[in-house]
Structure 1
Amino acid sequence: MLSRNYHDCVLISIRLDAGSGSVDLTFKSEPGERMEIILRGCSLFKSSDLVLQNVVSRIITYTGHDVIERDVADKLEWVSSLSDASSFLNAERMGAIVSSIKNGCETLIYVEPSWGAQIVALCKEIVER
């Protein structure tokens, strides 16, 4: 669970380090405060519709036994596919990831846009700064 409210924040940068599996998302709030979400141990990441102004509606984190499996599976299917290809996750692998999320070993994060970028990532740790 994130400690801050990111509603109406603007995503201003995404920094990827594929070698370490780290993704840094930087946001700017309406009053001008910069906030960062660092995703560590990412094994899946996808962003679409990145434009010059990317406004967040909300950010949802999925982890723990009470997650809705259908929501998680839908996000996993999206993050593991491309516009011209279906998901590369088979049913067995999808089930293993859902179990890992339900056991709290991994977290799925979903950045739902009001406008612009939609992001889904599967990671081991989320840090806010």
Structure 2
Amino acid sequence: LQVDDLVRGAGSERALVLRDYIRDSSAVATAEAALSELASDRLVDLAAIANVLGLGVYDPSDLDRMIQPRGVRALSLVPRLPWNVIKEITSHWENLADLREASVEDLQQIEGIGPYRAKLIRETLENQFSMAATGIVGW
């Protein structure tokens, strides 16, 4: 039962992580299959995982460059935010850092986002950032 509890939701979290770092949605299924085929010792190899995600890691020093999420996981935590709106937002901003800088007015420019939803997105992202900064949660 404990293993079931730990594993439940892991698939959806994995899918969100893949979508956070892979821009081409058609490549997500391929990456997921490639991750499933990795040997257990390669699952802890960050370079191998980065290459599966298409991040172009050729040398371990390549891992030192900044690799930023698009914000898919962060937006998935916004209450009642539909997937099609999440896709629109993440296609409009390059990465999560840029998205965090977006104002309520900027967010309202996206189809499907009105004043209430824009404010909710803005507040959720601010809360996530402040909790991560204080060490309450890690991203």
TM-score (norm 2): 0.28
Which of 1 and 2 has higher RCO (CA within 8 Å, sep 6+)?
1
Larger strand proportion, structure 1 or 2? 1
Q: Please identify the structure whose Cα radius of gyration is greater.
A: 2
TM-score (norm 1): 0.29
